[in-house]
Amino acid sequence: MFNRFALVLVFVPLAIILIALAVANRAPVAFTVDPFNPGNPALTYTLPFFVFLFAALALGMLIGSLATWFRQGRYRKLARQRAIEAESLKQAAGARPAAANPNNPAPRNPALPHPSA
């Protein structure tokens, strides 16, 4: 319930702000990719300004997501290694896998931190 409330509390004002930006910035703007010859029509794009704003927002989110994903790679690798070690220890002890035993719930993965509330 709290997650839905937080979602509404964050995304509704954000949507209102983005819609207001889109309405206020409808005028066409020329974007030139060639900085040395700004008059080159082959490398000049004319679109409403809000398209460029949203494209910059999307590009920033993509770059930030990729940076986070690469930065957390060592933790994913460590979690995979520990899961493989735990599975090999189970097989060496002759125990049945947790998924095959309905009476035994799946063990917690010690490689991952406990979620905070």
pLDDT tens profile 2-54: 788 888 898 899 889 989 988 998 999 988 888 888 878 888 889 999 999 89
Helix or strand holding residue 29 (H, E): strand 28-32
95 pLDDT exceeds 60? no
- Quick one: DSSP state of residue 43? G
Calculate mean pLDDT across residues 63-86.
Answer: 94
82 pLDDT exceeds 90? yes
Please, is 32 exposed, middle or buried when counting C-beta atoms within 10 Å of its C-beta (0-12, 13-18, 19+)?
middle
For residue 101, the model assigns a pLDDT of 57
Name the pLDDT band for 98 (thresholds 50, 70, 90). low
Q: What global pTM score does this model have?
A: 0.59
Name the pLDDT band for 111 (thresholds 50, 70, 90). low
For residue 3, the model assigns a pLDDT of 83
